[in-house]
């Protein structure tokens, strides 16, 4: 059965629970592994420092592991030194969203009329107003267009307006990423398909046929708000230019081969969403003018509302697929609710979340620059992350929505019945690898842990425009993930066997 948590329950149980015996004072530190009754039969376990040395990651590897029932720190290494948490940041954002907005919160996208509807004619403007829904997709817009017709609207005399001001517009989540990566789109209160457009190409004789569309499960409407030209060059592979009301892209012919596809980021989210909605309205016989972006909050009569899934379900998908846009939009929405006014910027919203995390989760020295972890300038210590996970464990808000992390054998295949069960959030940037969550040891002992590894020297040598896949990054990441499993296996034997 799915359990629902109110904001009051979340904050009350996460914080007042610290008054129990194990949390009455700052957590103690276990200087050496606790002996078990069958310790004499235990197999030899490699030391953590030896495992770290064998991984040959360079840079810094820090970790902290705690008993969730007692709050006892069992083991740590460079645990209080801040490191880039990468997408582990999303676990903090999930806690922030659940606490401030509530697990059952739903985002709404509305169609409003500024005039009266008479004999099927809207004598006024039609407004498509975003409510910060990070999951709005093309299928939902098709459904809204059909519902508009069922509401009795057959034509619109006025303008077609689109509004995304429920959240601040952000050109890109992180400026240090390559311009063309789909995981670094713009942010707006009106966003579609995670603000990505699908680019597909096929060889056509001596040239190429290119398509830009807003595809979803059921539809593939073409769009003009994102345009692509094939250029005779070898590098760079992609270039981007702001075309005013559209995104202007070029691609190097030498990189295309026979055909293929990829998702590109959208920088004009309101125009993008408006164009796609107008396509579906036209299929219903409702012809709209070209969309115009409005800056002030709209008024009028609500004709149609599309509601998102509950926030808890949205966050489960975010943690599973690590969607950056979802994290940023949820974080911005939580900050706007917390302040009682729209957030002013991504950085300002991250600072507000930092303040909340220090007060409510006890995360001293947390310095996050966004809600997704895409920004490499964020800093968080393994000790702070593990302690926060241990604190919120008893209310059950986060653990059920974390992803199962499979334990693998020597050939990289998932173990069908591993002795240790892990649910956690992964985090990956180039030469950064993090993992934080909960593990259940063979004897049922539950531990909260955080493992952060980063090689800042290797990161400093990356050119984002040239190195979409920096040399050595894949092997480094593979060794980092192997180390994570080795540490978890060690803790399972030492503290829970």
Q: What is the pLDDT of residue 11?
A: 42
Cβ neighbour number for residue 125 with a 10 Å cutoff = 20
In this structure, what token pair is assigned to residue 153? 């609207």
Q: What is the pLDDT of residue 416?
A: 87
- Could you tell me if residue 45 is left (phi over 0), alpha (psi between -120 and 50 degrees) or otherwise beta? beta
Stretch (H or E) spanning 101: none
In this structure, what token pair is assigned to residue 148? 């508009």
Q: What is the pLDDT of residue 461?
A: 87
Given a contact cutoff of 8 angstroms between Cβ atoms, the answer to whether 112 and 127 are in contact is: yes
Given a contact cutoff of 8 angstroms between Cβ atoms, the answer to whether 111 and 303 are in contact is: yes
Q: What is the DSSP string of 365-379?
A: T-B-SSSSS--TT-B
Contacting residues for 391 by C-beta, under 8 A, at least 6 apart: 14, 15, 17, 18, 23, 361, 362
Cβ neighbour number for residue 471 with a 10 Å cutoff = 10
How far is the CA of 426 from the CAs of 205, 293, 406, 409, in angstroms? 44, 37, 12, 19
pLDDT tens by residue, the chain, 497 residues: 344 444 443 444 443 333 333 343 333 444 344 444 444 444 578 999 999 999 999 999 999 999 999 999 999 999 999 999 999 999 999 999 999 999 999 999 999 999 999 999 999 999 999 999 999 999 999 999 999 999 999 999 999 999 999 999 999 999 989 999 999 999 999 999 999 999 999 999 889 999 999 999 999 999 999 999 999 999 899 999 999 999 999 999 999 999 999 999 999 999 999 999 999 999 999 999 999 999 999 999 999 999 999 999 999 999 999 999 999 999 999 999 999 999 999 999 999 999 999 999 999 989 999 999 999 999 999 999 999 999 999 899 999 999 999 999 888 888 888 999 999 999 999 999 999 999 999 999 999 999 999 999 999 888 766 656 788 999 999 999 999 999 999 999 999 86
pTM of the complete model: 0.91
Q: What is the pLDDT of residue 160?
A: 98
Q: What CA–CA distance (Å, rounded) separates 34 from 86?
A: 32
Which stretches does DSSP call E strand in 9-100? 60-67, 73-77
Where in the chain is CATH 3.40.710.10?
A: 7-103+311-318+344-496
**Candidates 3.40.710.10, 3.40.50.2300, 1.20.140.10, 1.10.1040.10; correct CATH number of 7-103+311-318+344-496?**
3.40.710.10
Given a contact cutoff of 8 angstroms between Cβ atoms, the answer to whether 272 and 192 are in contact is: yes
How far is the CA of 193 from the CAs of 19, 71, 174, 185, 326, in angstroms? 44, 41, 19, 11, 11
| Topology, domain 107-308 | 3.50.80
Pairing of the two strands 160-163 and 292-293: parallel
Where in the chain is CATH 3.50.80.20?
A: 107-308
């Amino acid at each position: 059965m799915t359990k629902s948590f109110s904001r009051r329950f979340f904050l009350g149980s996460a914080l007042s629970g610290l008054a129990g015996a194990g949390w009455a004072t700052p957590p103690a530190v276990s200087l050496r592994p606790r002996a078990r009754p069958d310790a004499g039969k235990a197999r030899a376990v490699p030391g953590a420092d030896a495992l770290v040395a064998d991984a040959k990651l360079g840079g810094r590897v820090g970790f902290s592991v705690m008993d969730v029932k007692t709050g006892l720190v069992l083991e740590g290494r460079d645990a209080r030194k801040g490191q880039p948490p990468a997408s582990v940041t999303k676990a903090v954002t999930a806690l922030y969203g659940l606490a401030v907005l509530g697990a059952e919160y739903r985002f709404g996208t509305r169609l409003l009329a500024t005039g009266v509807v008479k004999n099927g004619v809207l004598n006024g403007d039609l407004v498509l107003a975003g409510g910060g829904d990070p999951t709005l997709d093309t299928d939902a817009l098709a459904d809204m267009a059909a519902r508009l017709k069922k509401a009795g609207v057959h034509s619109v005399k006025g303008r077609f307006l689109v509004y995304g001001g429920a959240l601040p517009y952000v050109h890109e989540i992180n400026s240090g990423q390559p311009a063309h990566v789909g995981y670094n789109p713009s942010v707006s209160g009106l966003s579609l398909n995670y603000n990505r457009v699908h680019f597909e190409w096929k060889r056509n004789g001596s040239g190429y046929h290119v398509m830009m569309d807003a595809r979803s499960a059921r539809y593939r409407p073409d769009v003009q708000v994102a345009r692509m030209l094939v250029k005779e060059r070898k590098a760079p592979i992609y270039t981007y230019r702001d075309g005013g009301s559209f995104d202007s892209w070029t691609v190097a012919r030498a990189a295309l081969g026979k055909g293929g596809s990829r998702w590109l980021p959208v920088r004009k989210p309101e125009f993008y969403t408006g164009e796609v909605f107008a396509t579906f309205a036209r299929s219903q016989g409702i012809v709209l003018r070209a969309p115009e972006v409005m800056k002030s909050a709209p008024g009028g009569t609500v004709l149609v509302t599309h509601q998102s899934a509950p926030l808890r379900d949205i966050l489960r998908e975010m943690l599973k697929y690590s969607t950056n846009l979802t994290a940023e939009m949820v974080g911005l929405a939580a900050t706007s609710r917390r302040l009682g006014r729209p957030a002013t910027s991504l950085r300002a919203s991250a600072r507000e979340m930092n303040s909340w995390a220090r007060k409510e989760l006890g995360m001293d020295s947390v310095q996050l620059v966004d809600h997704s972890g895409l920004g490499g300038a964020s800093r968080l210590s393994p000790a702070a992350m593990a302690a926060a996970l241990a604190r919120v464990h008893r209310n059950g808000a986060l653990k059920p929505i974390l992803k199962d992390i499979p334990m693998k054998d020597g050939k990289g295949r998932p173990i069908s019945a591993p002795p240790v069960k892990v649910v956690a959030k992964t985090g990956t940037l180039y030469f950064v690898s993090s993992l934080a969550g909960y593990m259940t040891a063979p004897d049922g002992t539950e531990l909260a842990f955080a493992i952060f590894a980063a090689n800042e020297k290797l990161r400093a040598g990356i050119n984002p425009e040239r190195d979409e896949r920096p040399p050595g990054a894949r092997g480094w990441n593979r060794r980092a993930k192997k180390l994570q499993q080795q540490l978890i296996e060690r803790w399972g034997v030492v503290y829970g066997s």
